């Protein structure tokens, strides 16, 4: 029952237990990790093309992704608004290094969609050897998780640092719980099993992980919907962070989900100042650890 959880945890823990690497090797790990994300999404697109009743299933993917994203983000937003009211988070604004263009970052995210579309287009050829895409994606996932463990290890985040930054940990907890509530509501609306809705809500924006794990557990329709649900979260965060930071710093951070320690960190830094960085790293770190464990548990 928990074999899926072990498949996720073993490479993740193995990577974390390896000795810290040099800065040059850490840079190489980051580059390989980025490449693995594209490879996994390409395989996911191929698997999608092998679906029966393709037109019907594409409509289902859009429906599942839209409803899930709306429910999860609504619950996250309400919970984070409540947190900001109960525990205001004041701070300086617009200190730090200039962030990349939001349009440029949004286009980078949309490239991921094009990779899925490219895999889908090739999958439509129905070449026999493409049937191996599912097994190849599982192997790629193991490598990705090993690299993520190495990356987390080299981030130098200790238990003491996590516990001391209460703001980042608190926002992560609120996001984690409220997202699950949103996922449960989405499952009710969509007529899906509760565990499916909870699994879709558990990636917290980590689209490459949710896409492949959900595809393995629930099929390409739910897996693709999970991917687009999480990608929508990242795109929305990029667009809303600058406007939200002055009103609710907790909401600006929480909407980033697991991406607050990497992709959306430059936007957070530019909008909220350098003082938001420790909380953002702790927040993203915790959600990145929770995501594979929760997805595996709900998919078991």
Measured distance CA(192)–CA(186) in Å, rounded: 8
Instruction: Give me the mean pLDDT over the 184-189 stretch.
Output: 96
pLDDT in tens, 248-268: 899 999 999 988 877 777 678
Domain extents in the chain: 3-299
Angle, CA 126 vertex, CA 107 and CA 65 arms, to 5°: 40
Lowest mean pLDDT, pick from 127-131, 256-260, 289-293: 127-131
Comparing 23 with 184, the larger pLDDT belongs to 184
pLDDT in tens, 196-247: 999 999 999 887 788 878 888 888 889 889 988 988 887 788 778 877 887 8
> At residue 1, does pLDDT exceed 60?
no
Give, in order, the Cα–Cα distances in Å from 243 to each of 205, 238, 246, 252. Answer: 20, 10, 6, 8
Q: What pLDDT was estimated at residue 202?
A: 94
Give the tokens for residue 25. 């090797």
Q: What pLDDT was estimated at residue 95?
A: 44
Measured distance CA(254)–CA(282) in Å, rounded: 12
Q: What pLDDT was estimated at residue 102?
A: 60
Task: For 46, list phi and psi in degrees, rounded to 5.
Answer: -60, -45
Residues 6+ apart with CB under 8 A from 185: 71, 75, 197
pLDDT in tens, 5-51: 566 667 877 887 888 878 888 888 878 877 877 887 788 788 777 76
Lowest mean pLDDT, pick from 107-111, 172-176, 222-226, 264-268: 107-111
């Amino acid at each position: 029952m928990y074999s899926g959880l072990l498949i996720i945890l073993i490479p993740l823990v193995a990577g974390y237990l390896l000795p810290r690497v040099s800065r040059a090797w850490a840079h190489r790990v980051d580059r390989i990790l980025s490449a693995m994300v594209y490879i996994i999404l390409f395989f996911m697109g191929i698997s999608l093309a092998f679906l029966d009743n393709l037109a019907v299933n594409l409509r289902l993917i859009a429906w599942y992704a839209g409803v899930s994203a709306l429910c999860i983000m609504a619950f996250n937003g309400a919970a984070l608004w409540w947190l900001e009211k109960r525990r205001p988070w004041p701070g300086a604004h617009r200190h730090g290094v200039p962030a990349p263009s939001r349009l440029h970052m949004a286009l980078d995210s949309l490239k991921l969609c094009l990779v899925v579309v490219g895999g889908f287009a090739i999958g439509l050829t129905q070449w026999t050897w493409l049937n191996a895409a599912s097994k190849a994606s599982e192997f790629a996932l193991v490598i990705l998780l090993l690299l993520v463990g190495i990356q987390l290890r080299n981030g130098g985040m200790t238990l003491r640092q996590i516990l001391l930054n209460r703001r980042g940990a608190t926002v992560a907890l609120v996001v984690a719980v409220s997202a699950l509530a949103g996922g449960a509501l989405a499952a009710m609306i969509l007529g899906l099993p509760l565990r499916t809705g909870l699994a879709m809500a558990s990636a917290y924006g980590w689209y490459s992980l949710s896409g492949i794990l959900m595809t393995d557990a629930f099929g390409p329709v739910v897996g693709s919907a999970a991917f687009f649900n999480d990608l929508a979260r990242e795109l929305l965060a990029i667009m809303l962070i600058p406007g939200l930071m002055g009103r609710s710093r907790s909401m600006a951070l929480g909407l980033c989900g697991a991406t607050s320690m990497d992709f959306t960190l430059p936007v957070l830094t530019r909008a909220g100042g350098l003082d938001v960085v420790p909380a953002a790293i702790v927040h993203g770190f915790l959600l990145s650890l929770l995501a594979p464990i929760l997805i595996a548990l709900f998919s078991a």
